[in-house]
Each structure stands twice: as structure tokens, then as C-alpha cells.
């Protein structure tokens, strides 16, 4: 109840500050007019404030009741895949979200590692309170990230997911992917392969397929050049289309 009250207060705070300032101005004006006129002005002002506050309160409650199906809107995502030897991989995602629930206290992060050994999951910004291993290659595993403080309606929060991956048996697939189930402005990919030799210059491939597709065939969108100086692929995917899985794939 305390968190719900705080959320309502946060939304109504701008209206409160406006009317408090207006009341100070009206009170100052009343000092210079006769008692009867002051009474009428005070009464009219009181009625206007009460009516406006009721309208604002009803609007706020309707906004809170009219909750979207999703808990949040995605604004931007940063994906980083880094390995020095091709065996130990650090995979990180930073995601900026905007809450669309009255109160958010945790975030359910879906991930899928194609290697054999379950990754070590951590976060610099949230507390990892549970990891669900589905033990099914067709299903996404889940990590529950708890916020350090509640995130209220329309507030922004940065999600951080970090996985230490063991691919010494070379069972994983060499790609990173994102399922686009809601609108996002940008996904920034950075794939750092420090173990590649100096003469390596193969392009990576940006591909996509429908989420509901029954086959594993991806359509090629474009090729991404390898930067031999930084030994990395980097790409900004702007406003990806809903209903698709996008991935960047490269040679092992």
C-alpha cells in the first residue's frame, strides 16, 4: 500500500505544486480587496481547485487501471559479446526500459545459451534472485533480476544482465540474437573476438526470421565488416520490425 500511495503521489506531484503556487498568488491578491469579494474569490478558487484535483485524480486512476499487457516499454538495448580465447565468453546486455505497471520490483530476463554448460549469471545493477533452467533447447531459460528500489509508472530503469559462458567444448552457436516482441528504438551490437588472427577478415551476417516460423531458415539482410584494429563487429540496428528474431552470425 505504501508503494502504491507513493506511485500516485509521484504522478500527482506536478498538479499539486501548480495549485500551491496559484493559491499563494490568489491569497496575495485577496489582501487588497474587500471582505465580500474576497469570500467569493476564495470560494470560486476552492471549487476550481477541488474540481481540477478530482479530474486529475480520476485521470491518474484510469491511467493506472488501464495497464498494458507488458510490464514495460523497451527504449534501447546494448549487446556485448567478448572473448579472448574463444573458450570463455562474457556476454552482457544493458537495456533501458520504461515501466508501464504501477510498481515494478523485478524483471524477468529471458536468455538462451546454446552451449552445454549452464552460464554463470550476475548483474551490476540488480540482484539475481533466481535462475530457471528449462532444460529444453526449444525454450528460453530465465533470470529474475530484483531492483534495488521499486520502479514506478513511467519511470526509466537500466537493466543489466551478465553471463560468463564456458564454450571449451565448442558446442555453442556463434551468433547473438534478439526476439522483437515490442517496439525498440535501437539495438547496439558489439562482438569482440580477440583470439582472431591478424589476417582474419570474414564478414558477419545480419539475418532475421519470423518468430512464428516453423523452420530455422533466416533471411539475410546485410553483411557486417570485421574491424581488424579492434577485432570486433559492431552494428546499430534501428527500429527493428516487430514479430521477428534478428541475429548476427559469424564464423567460429
Same domain, 77 and 190: yes
For the stretch 173-226, pLDDT in tens is 999 999 999 999 999 999 999 999 999 999 999 999 999 888 889 999 999 999
Same domain, 12 and 81: no
Q: What is the CATH number for 108?
A: 2.60.40
Specify whether the CB–CB gap between 161 and 110 falls below 8 A: no
Over the chain, what is the mean pLDDT? 84
HEC assignment per residue over 153-184: CCCEEEEEEEEEEECCCCCCCCEEEEECCCCC
pLDDT digits (tens, 9 = 90+) for 7-38: 555 555 555 555 555 555 555 455 555 566 65
Same-domain pairing of 54 and 122: no
Contacts of 74 (CB under 8 A, 6+ apart): 95, 96, 97, 182, 183, 184
Where a domain ends, among 26, 48, 65? 65
pLDDT at position 160, please? 97
| Same-domain pairing of 185 and 149 | yes
Decide: 10 and 152 in contact? Cβ < 8 Å: yes
Please tell me whether residues 168 and 46 are part of one structural domain.
no
- The model's pTM: 0.73
Whether residues 143 and 195 share a domain: the answer is: yes
Rg (CA), the chain: 26
Q: How many percent of the chain have pLDDT more than 90?
A: 56
Compute the Cα dihedral for 53, 58, 61, 62 and give only its sign. negative
Inter-residue contact 159 to 145 (CB < 8 Å): yes
Q: Is 63 helix (H, G, I), strand (E, B) or coil?
A: helix
DSSP-assigned letter for residue 227? B
Same-domain status, 110 and 180: yes
Q: Which domain holds residue 24?
A: 2-65
Last residue of a domain, one of 19, 44, 65: 65
Q: Are residues 123 and 214 in the same domain?
A: yes
Residue 179 makes CB contacts below 8 A (sequence gap 6+) with 110, 211, 245
Calpha distance 172→132 (Å, rounded):
19
Which of these ranges, 13-22, 40-49, 162-171, has the smallest mean pLDDT? 13-22
Residues 119 and 217 in one domain: yes
Domain count, the chain: 2
Cα dihedral 139, 141, 144, 145 in deg (nearest 10) = -120
Do 98 and 214 reside in the same domain of the chain? Answer: yes
Q: Tell which of 13, 46, 65 closes a domain.
A: 65
Largest Cα–Cα distance of the chain, in whole Å? Answer: 91
Amino acid at each position: 500500500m505504501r508503494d502504491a500511495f507513493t506511485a500516485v503521489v509521484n504522478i500527482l506531484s506536478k498538479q499539486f505544486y501548480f495549485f500551491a503556487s496559484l493559491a499563494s498568488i490568489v491569497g496575495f491578491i485577496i489582501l487588497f480587496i474587500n471582505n465580500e469579494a474576497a469570500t467569493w474569490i476564495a470560494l470560486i478558487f476552492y471549487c476550481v481547485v477541488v474540481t481540477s484535483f478530482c479530474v486529475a485524480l480520476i485521470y491518474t486512476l484510469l491511467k493506472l487501471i488501464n495497464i498494458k499487457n507488458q510490464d514495460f516499454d523497451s527504449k534501447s538495448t546494448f549487446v556485448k559479446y567478448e572473448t579472448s580465447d574463444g573458450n570463455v565468453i562474457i556476454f552482457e546486455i544493458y537495456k533501458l526500459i520504461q515501466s508501464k505497471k504501477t510498481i515494478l520490483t523485478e524483471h524477468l530476463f529471458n536468455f538462451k545459451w546454446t552451449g552445454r554448460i549452464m552460464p554463470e549469471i550476475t548483474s551490476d545493477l540488480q540482484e539475481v534472485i533466481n535462475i530457471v533452467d528449462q532444460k529444453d533447447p526449444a525454450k528460453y531459460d530465465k533470470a529474475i533480476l530484483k531492483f534495488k528500489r521499486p520502479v514506478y509508472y513511467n519511470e526509466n530503469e537500466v537493466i543489466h544482465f551478465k553471463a560468463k559462458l564456458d564454450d571449451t567444448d565448442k558446442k555453442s552457436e556463434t551468433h547473438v540474437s534478439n526476439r522483437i516482441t515490442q517496439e525498440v528504438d535501437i539495438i547496439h551490437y558489439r562482438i569482440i573476438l580477440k583470439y582472431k588472427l591478424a589476417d582474419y577478415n570474414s564478414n558477419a551476417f545480419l539475418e532475421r526470421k519470423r518468430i512464428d516460423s516453423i523452420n530455422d531458415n533466416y533471411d539475410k539482410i546485410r553483411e557486417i565488416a570485421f574491424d581488424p584494429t579492434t577485432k570486433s563487429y559492431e552494428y546499430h540496428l534501428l527500429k527493428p520490425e516487430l514479430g521477428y528474431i534478428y541475429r548476427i552470425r559469424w564464423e567460429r
